[in-house]
C-alpha cells in the first residue's frame, strides 16, 4: 500500500516545479518585451491667468469719450472746445512760420504760402488720425510686426537693406535718478542700438548715461512741447535721429503733421494695436497688485489709479518695443531709491500718479525671470533675454 503514494507525490512535485518554472519564464518574457519608457523633456505648464483680471484689464476706461473726440477732429469741429481752437490757431501759424523758414534756408528767399499747402496738411492730418483710430484694437500678434513697422523704416533711412533680422543688442535708457549712482555710459554705448526717452538731457552726464542715440522714444505730450519750442522744434537730438512717438491725445496728430512734412529722419507713430496691448498688460499687473496688496474689490481700483487718466509709462512701452526689434535687451535707469531723484536730469522728486510704477516693476521682473507669466502676448512670440542694470 505504500508504493502507490510515491508515484502520486512525484507527479504532484513535478507539476509544482513545472508551474514555477513557467511563471518565471512568463515574468522574464514580459520584462523583455514590454516597451521601454521614453525619456521626455518636461516643458513648463502654461500659465493660468485669472480670467476676472484679464477681463478687467481689457476694459479701457474713457474709450467712448476718445472715440467722440476723434470723430469731432475728423469732422473739423474745433469750435466745441477751447483747446482745439487754440491748437488749430497755433498749427496754422507754426505751419506758416516753419515753411517760410525752411524755404529761406533752402532757396534764400521766402516761399509764398498757398492755401493748397495748408489744405494738404489738413488732409494728411485727417488721414493719419483716421488710420490710427481705425486700427485701435487688441491684437496680440502685433509684437511680430514691430520689425516691419519700425526697423524697416529706420534701416531705409540709414541706407541699409531692410531685412527681418533683429538688432543684435539694444539698450533702453530710462531717466531714473539711480543712474547717477553708477557709470554705465560706456556699457550703454556698446549696444548696437540705444533707445532714449522723452528728450532726456545727456550733456555733462555722458559717463553716467552714455552719449549714443539711435532712437528717440517720446510721448506726444513731450513732443507737443518740443514742437512749440524754437530751440527744440521737432528734433531735440538733431534732425537725423529717428523719433518714435505714442499718442496721448488725438489732437497731437497736428504736431505730427507739422513736423513730419519736413523732418529728415523717420518720425513714426506707434501702432495703435501696440498701444492697446501695452495698456492691457500694465492694467493687468496693476489690478493684480491692487487686489493682492489691499484685499479690496476690483471696483475700487479706478479711484486709486485715476481711472480714465491711468496710463503706462513711456519707459514701459520703449522696453516692449525693444523686445520686438532686438535679439537681446539691456535696461538701464529703471527703478528708484529714497535718495534718488525721479529723473536724473531734473530736480523732480515726485512720481506721476497716473502711472503704477510698482506694477511695471513686477512686469520687468517677469520679463527676466518668467516671461510666460506675462498675459495677452501671442504664444508665437519669443521673448529675447533681458538684463536689468541697477
pLDDT tens, position by position, 305-322: 777 788 899 999 999 999
Tell me what pLDDT residue 232 has: 77
Mean pLDDT within 112-126? 71
At residue 158, the pLDDT reads 86
State the angle between helix axes of 82-107 and 115-134 in degrees (0 to 180), rounded to the nearest 10: 120
Residue 86: count of CB within 10 angstroms of its CB: 11
Would you state the pLDDT for residue 263? 74
Domains of the chain in start order, with CATH, are 62-134 (no CATH), 139-389 (3.90.1480)
pLDDT digit string, tens, across residues 138-188? 999 999 999 999 999 999 988 888 789 999 999 999 988 889 899 999 999
Query: How far is C-alpha 243 from the geometric centre of its chain's CA atoms?
Result: 15
What's the confidence (pLDDT) of residue 303?
85
Q: Which of 9-23, 65-79, 346-360, 375-389 has the lowest mean pLDDT?
A: 9-23
pLDDT digits (tens, 9 = 90+) for 342-389: 676 676 666 667 789 999 999 999 999 999 999 999 999 999 999 999
User: How far apart (Å, rounded) are the C-alpha atoms in residues 248 and 224?
Assistant: 10
Q: Is the pLDDT of residue 124 over 70?
A: yes
Give the C-alpha separation, 223 to 255, whole Å.
Answer: 8
Q: How far is CA 279 from the centre of its chain?
A: 9
Q: Which of the four pLDDT bands, split at 50, 70 and 90, describes residue 28?
A: very low
Mean pLDDT of 253-264: 84
CA distance 202 to 209: 7
User: According to the model, what pLDDT value does residue 86 have?
Assistant: 60
Average pLDDT over residues 51-61: 93
Could you tell me which residue, 116 or 224, shows the higher pLDDT? 224
- What is the spatial distance between Cα 353 and Cα 359, in angstroms, rounded to a whole number? 12
Residue 83: per-residue pLDDT = 58
- The region of weakest confidence among 64-78, 105-119, 144-158 is 105-119
CA dist 141 and 274 (Å) reads 9
Q: Given a cut of 70, is residue 38 above it in pLDDT?
A: no
CA distance 88 to 92: 6
What pTM, to 2 d.p., does this model score?
A: 0.81
pLDDT above 70 (res 72): yes
The predicted structure's pLDDT at residue 375: 97
| 372 half-sphere exposure, CB direction, 13 A CA radius | 6
Q: Residue 55 has what pLDDT?
A: 96
Q: How far is 215 from 94, CA to CA, in rounded Å?
A: 25
| pLDDT score, position 1 | 44
Question: How many whole angstroms separate alpha carbon 270 and alpha carbon 277?
Answer: 11
Residue 97: name the closest of 237, 227, 224, 239 by CA.
227
Amino acid at each position: 500500500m505504500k508504493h502507490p503514494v510515491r508515484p502520486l507525490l512525484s507527479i504532484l512535485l513535478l507539476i509544482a516545479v513545472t508551474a514555477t518554472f513557467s511563471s518565471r519564464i512568463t515574468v522574464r518574457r514580459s520584462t523583455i518585451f514590454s516597451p521601454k519608457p521614453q525619456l521626455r523633456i518636461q516643458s513648463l505648464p502654461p500659465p493660468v491667468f485669472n480670467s476676472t483680471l484679464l477681463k478687467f484689464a481689457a476694459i479701457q476706461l474713457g474709450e467712448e469719450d476718445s472715440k467722440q473726440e476723434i470723430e469731432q477732429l475728423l469732422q473739423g469741429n474745433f469750435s466745441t472746445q477751447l483747446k482745439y481752437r487754440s491748437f488749430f490757431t497755433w498749427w496754422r501759424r507754426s505751419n506758416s512760420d516753419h515753411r517760410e523758414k525752411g524755404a529761406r534756408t533752402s532757396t534764400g528767399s521766402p516761399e509764398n504760402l498757398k492755401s493748397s499747402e495748408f489744405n494738404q496738411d489738413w488732409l494728411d492730418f485727417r488721414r493719419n488720425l483716421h488710420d490710427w483710430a481705425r486700427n485701435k484694437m487688441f491684437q496680440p500678434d502685433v509684437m511680430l510686426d514691430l520689425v516691419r513697422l519700425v526697423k524697416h523704416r529706420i534701416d531705409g533711412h540709414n541706407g541699409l537693406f531692410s531685412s527681418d533680422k533683429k538688432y543684435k543688442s539694444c539698450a533702453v535708457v530710462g531717466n531714473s535718478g539711480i543712474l547717477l549712482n553708477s557709470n554705465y555710459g560706456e556699457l550703454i554705448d556698446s549696444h548696437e542700438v540705444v533707445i532714449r526717452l522723452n528728450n532726456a538731457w545727456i550733456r555733462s552726464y555722458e559717463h553716467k548715461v552714455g552719449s549714443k542715440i539711435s532712437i528717440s522714444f517720446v510721448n506726444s505730450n513731450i513732443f507737443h512741447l518740443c514742437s512749440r519750442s524754437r530751440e527744440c522744434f521737432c528734433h531735440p537730438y538733431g534732425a537725423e535721429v529717428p523719433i518714435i512717438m505714442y499718442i496721448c491725445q488725438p489732437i497731437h496728430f497736428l504736431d505730427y503733421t507739422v513736423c513730419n512734412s519736413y523732418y529728415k529722419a523717420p518720425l513714426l507713430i506707434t501702432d495703435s494695436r501696440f498701444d492697446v496691448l501695452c495698456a492691457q498688460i500694465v492694467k493687468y499687473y496693476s489690478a493684480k497688485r491692487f487686489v493682492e496688496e489691499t484685499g479690496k474689490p476690483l471696483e475700487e481700483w479706478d479711484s486709486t489709479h485715476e481711472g480714465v487718466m491711468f496710463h503706462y509709462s513711456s519707459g514701459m512701452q520703449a522696453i516692449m518695443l525693444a523686445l520686438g526689434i532686438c535679439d537681446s535687451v539691456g535696461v538701464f535707469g529703471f527703478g528708484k531709491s529714497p535718495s534718488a531723484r525721479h529723473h536724473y536730469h531734473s530736480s523732480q522728486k515726485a512720481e506721476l500718479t497716473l502711472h503704477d510704477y510698482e506694477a511695471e516693476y513686477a512686469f520687468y521682473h517677469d520679463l527676466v525671470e518668467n516671461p510666460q507669466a506675462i498675459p495677452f502676448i501671442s504664444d508665437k512670440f519669443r521673448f529675447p533675454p533681458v538684463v536689468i542694470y541697477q
